[in-house]
Amino acid sequence: MNIVAITGMDLTSMQNEMPQDLKERCQFHWFKSSSEAGEHIADADVIITAGRMNPDTLKQATKLKWMQTISAGVDKLPLLEFAERNVILTNARGVHTIQMSEFTLSLMLQWVRKANLLHERQQSKVWDNQVTFGELYGKTIGIIGAGAIGEAVARKAKAFDMTVIGLNRSGSPQPAFDSTVSGEEGLTSLLSQSDFVVLLLPSTAKTRGFLTKEHLRLMKPSAFLINLARGDVIEEEDLIMALQEGKLAGAALDVFEQEPLPSTSPLWNMDNVILTPHIAGSSAHYAERVSNIFYHNVRAFLDGTEMMNVVDLTEGY
């Protein structure tokens, strides 16, 4: 089986540490770009990608049977074409659980402990011991998207004695949550009760524009919004207006409608906004974790057993 990886991520370890039994059954080639991959694309049974695929590359891959993304999101891939060609698509769902849940808690602590202000004081050499702080203790966190990452956030939030509400499609109870809701009524309840709202939704046709201007109005003026999902799950202009008008205390944003975030965006200069450049899922252990998913799937594909993280091409996740 010919495996062609096309990504700028360093996959040296994935290539070198592949179990011996798989090395004997596969040929693994890693290229940083499709132009480097060249003629290898035409012979690829499997392609590994970071979540994007040049249409011309896909046309060349006439033997393609399966594509593995090393990202969780598949919204930039031609799902309809995969369905038409009977190409299996698997993603890296689960690879972000540890780092993104830790990142979420770090953002909440950064907000309540006023880390940005303290850093500014340090840079200005100002000794100010009269700064007052909030706490996570006793606060309510609402997690929109109660999947694997959401559950990890919930478990860590419980360690800070927070109340955790989760929203998923079914509303079925989840072990780490105090309550789980669903639908518009459940979303209304979650937003009105939460001191922190965390967006962890996938980007699909159903979730684009998920959080509307009306939803933002349901939130407490003291609430803090964290978006680690995709920039298009919320209307950026509506969020900016809510932050500027004090209808929302603050926000931490790792994803945006346009990336990189344009220098003209007012978000850059807002004191109540924490910005990060789509790095919530980054980790020194990323390649190791995604390799374990991929090795499982290679063996399952070859042996005809169950693969991990098979994407529903109709639903988009």
pLDDT 10s digits, 20-30 = 999 999 999 99
Indicate which residues carry an active-site annotation.
230, 259, 278
Q: Do 28 and 2 meet the contact criterion of CB atoms below 8 Å apart?
A: no
Helix (H/G/I), strand (E/B), else coil: 286: helix
* pLDDT tens digits for range 209-260: 999 999 999 999 999 999 999 999 999 999 999 999 999 999 999 999 999 9
- For 11, 151, 288, the CA distances from 95, given in Å and listed in that order, are 15, 14, 9
Closest alpha carbon to 69 in 306, 294, 316: 294
Query: How much is the pTM?
Result: 0.91
Which domains, ranges and CATH numbers included, belong to the chain?
Answer: 2-95+284-303 (3.40.50.720), 97-275 (3.40.50.720)
Q: Which residue has the tokens 């500014």?
A: 120
